[in-house]
Amino acid sequence: MKKILVANRGEIALRVMKTAQKMGIKTVAVFSEADRNSPHVKFADEAVCIGPAPSNESYLKGDKIIEVAKQLNADAIHPGYGFLSENASFAELCEEHHIIFIGPHSKTIKIMGSKLAAKEAVKAYDIPMVPGIDEAITNIDKAKSIAHDIGFPVLIKASAGGGGKGMRVVEQAADLESQMNRAISEATSAFGDGSVFIEKYVTSPRHIEIQIMADNHGNILHFFERECSIQRRHQKVVEEAPSCILSPELRTKMGEAAIKVAKSCDYLGAGTVEFLLDADHNFYFLEMNTRLQVEHPVTELISDVDLVALQIKVARGEALQLKQEDLKITGHALELRVYAEDPLNNFLPSVGHLNTYKIPKGHGIRVDNGFKVGMDIPIYYDPMLAKLITYGKTRSEAIQLMIKAIDSYHIEGVQTTLPFGKYVCEHEVFRSGNFDTHFVKNYYAPEILKEQASEEAKIAALVAVKQYLEDQKLLRLPS
């Protein structure tokens, strides 16, 4: 493998390219007209514009990306995450054109891309699943009957998608019909597939995921868990590894279950098996993400591996050299997704110009970044600017370092999730480890951040006045 085309943008494109460069592999960037001056374009050995700003005219044009790969003699395509990373048709297109897709086979993506097909695949492996139905439905009367049998609250989920789209929690029978219609409509709009299914809603759930890696030689490893329960709109914002509530026995059980899920679909490469953990520490299979996850750095830090390097090695046919017993958890890592979103306004995207953009540096601080000062934040894509990751010997050390790193991260021109990240890290419930996916709903209110910002502004003003008076004293001293 001498050349990899990275079919993505921003921080993940740079992340992949840096590892490829270390491995002596040349890289090709593809970019939209809006990303012409992006860092990933300048970092790559070669770069090709593939279309206008909207992703459906650029980053989602699989045939165009294949065409560029062939023109520039790229051996492989790394899809990153998002865009075409979990698109079975694109993986199949790569296979047809004899280009290595750095990810699982197209048939695997197809199976795990449907929540119902995924559940069917893992059935034979005795993996615990949330009580529910194994078929997609649209009939309201049938939905009411099923919900009654399972017992409220229930969760309506789109079969074809993720990211919280087409998902509705229904607390009582009276709301089922309206929520079903909304979920179906949203799923149709987002995924072109309105099929939904119903399952029992796990109250006080924690979102725990297991990182796995599989090669073509029958080896499957798990790299422990990530805690991803701090979410807004069913999407993760703060992640950490390891989870502070898993016992060694439960960690082993969940790791073994994740390996079984990988076996059930003949998995290849990096993947993540997601579980829900209830208040009694029972875990249930949720879904499998057939790609590298946004939050993979926390796993890299605690297990001392480069997951992208392992992806590339298994994609070119190498066997994994590590054994499960070689892997150990060392220290604790925390990640904050730095989104251009306004936490004071329901986390709505904040579009603007980066007048100031200064990232924190120091021991134990890692920033996977895709932007620089002077750039505009495009409205066309996911609003994530960077990932701020901290690593310490203990969880409390990683948290304290994260607070310090947030204070040293200076951004002007757009609103970001940095203040929210600091709020989470300073909150006693998060610090105690006794939280779940309802943290934002139960503990966060924009007014609190506004009060904190006002208080910080007052302190800064008082410090400035004090410094001014000290300076004036010095000036009045006789020579």
The pLDDT of 365-385, averaged and rounded, is: 96
Give 479's pLDDT tier (boundaries 50, 70, 90).
Answer: low
The pLDDT of 217-223, averaged and rounded, is: 98
User: Which residues are CB-contacts of 163 (< 8 A; sequence separation ≥ 6)?
Assistant: 234, 235
Beta pairing class for 168-170 and 154-158: antiparallel
Task: Pick the closest to residue 413 from 453, 378, 373 (CA basis).
Answer: 373
| pLDDT at 457 (0 to 100) | 61
3 state SS of 169:
strand
Q: By the 8 A CB rule, do 102 and 79 touch?
A: yes
Q: What residues form DSSP beta bridges with 273?
A: 210, 288
| Interatomic CA distance for residues 101 and 103, integer angstroms | 6
Please, what is the average pLDDT of the chain? 93
| Interatomic CA distance for residues 448 and 346, integer angstroms | 13
Give yes or no for residue 409 having a pLDDT over 70.
yes
Which tens digits make up the pLDDT trace of 280-289? 999 999 999 9
| pLDDT at 132 (0 to 100) | 83
| pLDDT at 478 (0 to 100) | 59
In the structure encoding, which two tokens stand for residue 400, read together?
């304290």
Least confident stretch, 23-32, 177-186, 301-310, 434-443: 177-186
Which tens digits make up the pLDDT trace of 195-208? 888 988 888 899 99
Least confident stretch, 89-103, 127-141, 433-447: 127-141
Q: Is the dihedral of CA 93, 306, 402, 365 positive or negative?
A: negative
Q: Which helix (H) or strand (E) holds 262?
A: helix 248-264
Whether the model pTM is above 0.85: yes
Q: Identify residue 185 by its one-letter amino acid code.
A: S
| pLDDT at 163 (0 to 100) | 61
Residue 97 has a CB neighbour count (10 Å cut-off) of 14
| Interatomic CA distance for residues 259 and 144, integer angstroms | 35
| pLDDT at 359 (0 to 100) | 98
Torsion, Cα of 256, 262, 267, 268 (10° steps): -30
Q: By the 8 A CB rule, do 22 and 46 touch?
A: no
Give yes or no for residue 78 having a pLDDT over 60.
yes
Which residue among the candidates 15, 232, 251, 291 is catalytic per the annotation? 291
Give 461's pLDDT tier (boundaries 50, 70, 90).
Answer: low
| pLDDT at 194 (0 to 100) | 81
**Which domains does the chain possess?**
3-102 (3.40.50.20), 131-200 (3.30.1490.20), 206-447 (3.30.470.20)
Q: What residues form DSSP beta bridges with 168?
A: 156
**Annotation says 232 is catalytic:** no
Percentage above 70 pLDDT, the chain: 95
